[in-house]
Amino acid sequence: MTAQEKLAGRISQGYHICVGLDTDINKIPEHLNNRKNPVLDFNNEIIRATADSAAAYKINFAFYEKDGLKGIENLLATIDMIPDDILIIGDAKRGDIGNTSKMYAEAVFNTFGCDAVTLHPYMGIDSVAPFIDFSDKISFVLVLTSNKSAADFEKLSLADGEKLFVEVLNKSNSWNVNNNVGIVFGATNPEELAVYSHHFNEMPVLLPGVGAQQGDLSKVLKIFRDQKKENFIINVSRGLIYAGKGEDFAEFSRNELNKYNNIVKSA
Amino acid sequence: MTAQEKLAGRISQGYHICVGLDTDINKIPEHLNNRKNPVLDFNNEIIRATADSAAAYKINFAFYEKDGLKGIENLLATIDMIPDDILIIGDAKRGDIGNTSKMYAEAVFNTFGCDAVTLHPYMGIDSVAPFIDFSDKISFVLVLTSNKSAADFEKLSLADGEKLFVEVLNKSNSWNVNNNVGIVFGATNPEELAVYSHHFNEMPVLLPGVGAQQGDLSKVLKIFRDQKKENFIINVSRGLIYAGKGEDFAEFSRNELNKYNNIVKSA
């Protein structure tokens, strides 16, 4: 299945919540600490409890790289655990000169087996093209991020009157000739989302910032509903995977996901 | 030794060439292919042949990540081979929201043991701060990159008349309170370098783009010499490590490095 088919399949069932596997050994339930591989056992239980009603999984590479070889083993094993029909986003935020981006693309898509990736746009098309060359994968370009200092550069006004992130949005649209470019747009920016979502066209949108970062879910949903746009997924990481602390933690995560799914459905 | 001490130590000896270990198994000398670990043997010979007269080593993470677990093993082993008094730059081009950048910083500096890192500025100070928090490491922020499509965003004019990369340069200066912020400035942009090098202040500069990317070494050197600035390193990767094809390949790389060093000295 292509990345596009996986995403469309879940969205057509009404699922729009992406489960973020930012697994931190210091935050997982205590009883797992005496397991041989606490992080992997945690991920396994979360995935089993959420796989039928998640829109996608987003794997934050940083949390695995931090643990070196063991972390990379866990990254590979976690990706292996995810059912084949669900989109796996490698949240790696890569981007480099062409010959290096080519290596990163091979790493994320072939070596690690992700269906999608997140990319820094700063270096321009050379840095994005080697990812886009994988036509059955989705490359999500950072347009407007969820963090406060998105204001430092992303929101700067250009000489032509547009903000930098709008230029990145426009360029992303122009790069989307093979229907495999998506964008990242922080849910913490509902005003910008209301205006610029009219220019997302066919690109799928990954919205981080709901949950721990306090993006407003209802505002985000209203914007997409008003335009009858379905091609969006909302990522929740910490707010979902750490919902429970006891042996039944995965049940709590499942309930939390269902709560989000119900909010999406009733919107 | 701190990263700053390592860099200053080599520069004070007149060394300004950084050896880029972008090791690609498809480009290394053929006779290594029947070794147990061709990449590691290649890196070992290159490092032994260049360690006394290199300013730094830059390790391009992409080339190792592509090979998964084996690649990460090689990354760790390569870093282990480099003498303690030489700066190791983890060319990882990272950058994410605060809690994620914290994990990436721990990965690059603690888990992998690099002295320095390269960073995407797009997401602003939140994404850079967790790296800068390591005061004895150097965080090189991408200001103006060596690739052609640096024009896509980096060279866009802002409403205040400055280019985006100049705003990144100015912000990088303001972040450099602990003398641990550096910048990346592509050697393929000599005109911009001539103008903006006057605003680099105390920040060390990493200049990629010489060699395979055809940046003009003599122009770059003249700019720094005219200002009596010493705090720069020029990266050469492909043009140096693949200088030889036979069993004596490392000797060719050493000669190539010496050639570059002589050009620097005579400038």
Residue A140 bridge partners (DSSP): A118, A182
Query: Is B213's pLDDT higher than 70?
Result: no
Partner-chain residue, chosen from A68, A94, A95, that has the shortest CB–CB distance to B111: A68
Sign of CA dihedral A28, A109, B141, B86: positive
Tell me which of A27, A66, A93, A148 is the catalytic residue.
A93
Convert the pLDDT of each residue in A254-263 to its tens digit: 999 999 999 9
What was the pLDDT predicted at B267? 80
Convert the pLDDT of each residue in B62-78 to its tens digit: 999 999 999 999 999 99
Q: Does B120 contact A95 at a Cβ distance shorter than 8 Å?
A: yes
Q: Give yes or no: B93 in active site.
A: yes
What integer best gives the mean pLDDT of chain B?
A: 96
Q: Does B103 contact A167 at a Cβ distance shorter than 8 Å?
A: no
- Which chain B residue shows the shortest CA-CA distance from A70? B69
Interacting residues of B262 by C-beta distance below 8 A, sequence separation 6+: none
Query: Is B212's pLDDT higher than 90?
Result: no
Provide mean pLDDT across the span B186-192: 95
Q: Does A68 contact B112 at a Cβ distance shorter than 8 Å?
A: yes
Query: Is B159's pLDDT higher than 90?
Result: yes
Q: What are the tokens at B150?
A: 């640096």
Number of A–B residue contacts, CB under 8 Å: 186
Q: What are the tokens at A140?
A: 């999500």
Partner-chain residue, chosen from B112, B148, B159, that has the shortest CB–CB distance to A158: B159
Q: Does A111 contact B66 at a Cβ distance shorter than 8 Å?
A: yes
Q: Does A213 contact B97 at a Cβ distance shorter than 8 Å?
A: yes
Residue B264 to residue B217: CA distance in whole angstroms: 9
Q: Which residues of B touch A208 (CB under 8 A)?
A: 97
Q: How far is A184 from chain B (nearest CA, A)?
A: 12
First to last CA, chain B: 30
Provide mean pLDDT across the span A61-69: 98
CB of A109 closer than 8 Å to CB of B109? no
What was the pLDDT predicted at A60? 98
pLDDT band at B211 (very low <50, low <70, confident <90, very high): confident
Residue A226 to residue A195: CA distance in whole angstroms: 12
Kind and range of the H or E run holding A230: none
CB of B236 closer than 8 Å to CB of B21? no
Interface predicted TM-score (ipTM) of this complex, two decimals: 0.97
Residue B41 to residue B71: CA distance in whole angstroms: 13
Convert the pLDDT of each residue in A120-164 to its tens digit: 999 999 999 999 999 999 999 999 999 999 999 999 999 999 999
Q: How many CB atoms lie within 10 A of CB A195?
A: 12
Q: How far is A109 from chain B (nearest CA, A)?
A: 10
Nearest to A127 by CA among B159, B148, B264, B197: B148
Helices (H), A115-189: 125-132, 164-175
Q: Which residues of B touch A236 (CB under 8 A)?
A: none
pTM of the predicted model as reported, rounded to 2 decimal places: 0.97
Q: Which residues of A touch B154 (CB under 8 A)?
A: 122-124
Q: Does A111 contact B147 at a Cβ distance shorter than 8 Å?
A: no
Q: Which residues of B touch A62 (CB under 8 A)?
A: 94, 96, 100-101, 103-104, 107
Q: Does A159 contact B154 at a Cβ distance shorter than 8 Å?
A: no
Convert the pLDDT of each residue in A184-242 to its tens digit: 999 999 999 999 999 999 999 999 988 766 668 999 999 999 999 999 999 999 999 99
Q: Which residues of A touch B96 (CB under 8 A)?
A: 60, 62, 93
What was the pLDDT predicted at A213? 67
CB of B173 closer than 8 Å to CB of B132? no
Q: What is the DSSP string of B171-238?
A: HHHHHGGGS-EEEEE-TT-HHHHHHHGGG-TT--EEE--BSTT-B-HHHHHHHHHHTT---EEEEESH
Partner-chain residue, chosen from A66, A147, A153, that has the shortest CB–CB distance to B164: A153
Q: Does B156 contact A158 at a Cβ distance shorter than 8 Å?
A: yes
Residue B122 to residue B180: CA distance in whole angstroms: 19
Tell me which of B93, B155, B171, B229 is the catalytic residue.
B93
